[in-house]
Structure 1
Amino acid sequence: MNKYRYILDPSSKKYKCPNCNKFSLVVFIDTERSEIMENYGRCDRESKCGFFHHPSKDGFKNRINSEISNDAFVEIFPSFHKNHLVDLSIIGDNNFLKYLRFLFGTTIANSVQKKYKIGTLCEFNFGTVFWQIDERKIVRAGKVIQYFETGKRTKNITWMHQFLKIKKEISDYNLCQCLFGLHLIKDDKKSIIALVESEKTACIMSVIFPDFLWLACGAKGEFKLKKLEPIKHRKIIAYSDSETQKNGSTTYEEWKRKAEGFNAVGFQITVSDLLEKETTDEQKAKGIDIADFFMREFLKSK
């Protein structure tokens, strides 16, 4: 039985957002009546729009419940990349792989690359390609980030489908992301899943604490029900970055609030408070993550 009466629609249906007018709104569902609530929801364009209207905010004054109609939403069908793109990209080398070799040596770095299918986009100044491959081993996306050899990322980020559009190899692409590392759950069905924000963090922590299966959602705003659905049956420990938002709340608090809602519909998520308790104000100001926290001691021992 659901703990909360009103939950965000866990399906892939998208409604028209009243703020940005894009078909990117995930609406609330009244679980008691099994009806959608058209005037309440969260826009998936969190950085560009940020619309969020919970039913309790106005005392349900603008409540309009209705049956689901075919013209009320857009069903998003994901596009996919061909598998040979992944194989070709793994041949190259990039600064992130060099950083892994510096930290752990060539053998371990190569195993991490093979495990997570880390590629290189030479035409993007040898950017690191973090492939998003789902539980069916289908390639959903390729996120490309440029790094320095120190392991620090630059501000240069693109997506493989954007690059292919520029090259006119594809004309359109419907990006529907999945968790980074999701393809690993098919072969590892027993390990506790440790979920972090960044792909880099997942790769590093997979070496430091190999007993967990480390996955990444890609960004703090990507801690979403839809993205987590394939691991709903697994025990999950989420490690948010130690970061304070503009409104004064922390990413930890935001993830904990979301996790409570996810758990109400069957998930088993614990949001770790390790960084909240063990980091200094200076570290919180820098927004360190779980890998930063443990790498300090690791580098001292080198």
Structure 2
Amino acid sequence: MQKMQSINTYRFILDPTSRKYKCPNCGQRSFVIFIDSQTGEIMEEYGRCDRESKCGFFYHPSKGGFNNSRNSDIVIDKIEIPSPSFHHNSIVEESMQLKSDFLKYIGLLFGTSAANEVQSKYKIGTFQHFNYSTIFWQIDGLNNVRAGKIIKYSESGKRTKNISWMHKFLLHNNFIKSFNLSQCLFGLQLTNNDKTSIIGLVESEKTACIMSVVFPDFLWLSCGAKGEFKLAKLSAIKDREIIAYPDCEIQNNGTSTYDEWKKKAEGFNKVGFKIYVSDLLEKESTLEQKKQGIDIADYFMKEVNGT
């Protein structure tokens, strides 16, 4: 049976740094502000005064509205959630005995030796039960296998929109009884042996793999999707220097992924992160490329091929 653990809900968290703001109640620089952990937004109007006996001002951004009270206790709901589940390492090793079309694509781009190195480095598997799709294993800093993300690529590097997960297959076929998915960054295990390189953070696993060959001076990791650029997932690399490369894509509301990530990064940096969001693609891409949603690997491969 999956063990349960009691944790605090943390959509809104108090700034964990020593930074203090002017308290709106007593006027002293003793106000600890709230941060939206999902968006990275710095919420300077909400917080708690550290002068608990002399002031005790507390202004909390609750879900259903805003609770403004003086000399009040902080009420944080507790919930019970399953502890993270892990796949057996033997499944990872077994999946690496085959070569998916994605690895063949990497081989066509850079040669068989480079493809083998990418597979070994990132622990990329092949799932024969799903038309020899690629398994991007998510392995954390303690070498726990947290997830197996399954995506079908062609030998030309094109992917389908269908994404599955190894735990879903195992559950469906009764190989396991339960699984609590708790994701981490793709490639996170590499930070164990490389503690000094600048981290290049991208959206897709494919981009991280290609950039690890094109620009090996960086340690390339993937958050898995544009919406996965969030505090909880990045916490494991908080102390590292990070350059984020969002895909160059115009959203339906007219903004770009760059705009979203830049705003989030500004909030993350106020609580101790060191993230620079690159505007290279924003400056260099054509309108057509932005409509296509190119990524940093697309850009550099065009440079390499002279197109």
One-letter code of the match for 1:125? N
Identity %: 57
Shift of residue 3 of structure 1?
7.8
Instruction: Give secondary structure in 1 for the equivalent of 2:62.
Output: strand
One-letter code of the match for 1:7? I
Shift of residue 62 of structure 1?
2.6
Shift of residue 296 of structure 1?
1.1
Task: Tell me: CA distance 1:225–1:76, structure 2 relative to 1, closer, same or farther (3 Å).
Answer: farther
One-letter code of the match for 1:273? D
User: Superposition pairs for residues 141-156 of structure 1, below 5 Å?
Assistant: 141-156=147-162
Shift of residue 173 of structure 1?
1.1
Q: 1:124 aligns with which of 118, 121, 130?
A: 130
One-letter code of the match for 1:67? I
Shift of residue 39 of structure 1?
2.3
Task: Tell me: CA distance 1:98–1:232, structure 2 relative to 1, closer, same or farther (3 Å).
Answer: same
How many angstroms apart in 2 are the aligned matches of 1:144 and 1:236?
27
Instruction: Give secondary structure in 2 for the equivalent of 1:154.
Output: strand
User: Superposition pairs for residues 186-201 of structure 1, below 5 Å?
Assistant: 186-201=192-207
Report the equivalent of 2:190: 184
Instruction: Give secondary structure in 2 for the equivalent of 1:120.
Output: strand
One-letter code of the match for 2:34? Y
Give 5+ residue unaligned stretches, structure 1: 11-27, 41-52, 54-60
Contact 1:198–1:219 at 8 Å: present in 2 too? yes
Instruction: Give secondary structure in 2 for the equivalent of 1:248.
Output: coil
Give 5+ residue unaligned stretches, structure 2: 1-17, 22-32, 51-57
How many angstroms apart in 2 are the aligned matches of 1:76 and 1:105?
43
How many angstroms apart in 1 are the aligned matches of 2:178 and 2:124?
24
Contact 2:60–2:66 at 8 Å: present in 1 too? no
Task: Tell me: CA distance 1:31–1:84, structure 2 relative to 1, closer, same or farther (3 Å).
Answer: farther
Report the equivalent of 1:63: 67
* 1:153-207 deviation line (CA, Å, top 9, x unaligned): 1122100000111111112211110000000001000100000000000000000
Report the equivalent of 1:6: 34
Select the structure with the greater relative contact order (CA < 8 A; seq sep ≥ 6). Answer: 2
Report the equivalent of 1:233: 239
Q: 2:224 aligns with which of 218, 226, 233?
A: 218
Residue 106 (str. 1) matches residue 112 (str. 2):
yes
Instruction: Give secondary structure in 1 for the equivalent of 2:48.
Output: coil
TM-score where L is the length of structure 2: 0.80
Contact 2:59–2:67 at 8 Å: present in 1 too? no
How many angstroms apart in 1 are the aligned matches of 2:150 and 2:249?
24
Q: Comparing 150-159 with 200-209, which one deviates more in the overlay?
A: 150-159
Contact 2:105–2:155 at 8 Å: present in 1 too? yes
Contact 1:39–1:64 at 8 Å: present in 2 too? no
How many angstroms apart in 1 are the aligned matches of 2:180 and 2:135?
18
Q: How many residues align?
A: 265
Largest Rg, 1 or 2: 2
Report the equivalent of 2:102: 96
User: Superposition pairs for residues 210-289 of structure 1, below 5 Å?
Assistant: 210-289=216-295
How many angstroms apart in 2 are the aligned matches of 1:64 and 1:128?
51
TM-score where L is the length of structure 1: 0.82
Residue 80 (str. 1) matches residue 86 (str. 2):
yes
Q: What do you get for the CA RMSD once the two structures are aligned?
A: 2.4
Contact 2:102–2:157 at 8 Å: present in 1 too? yes
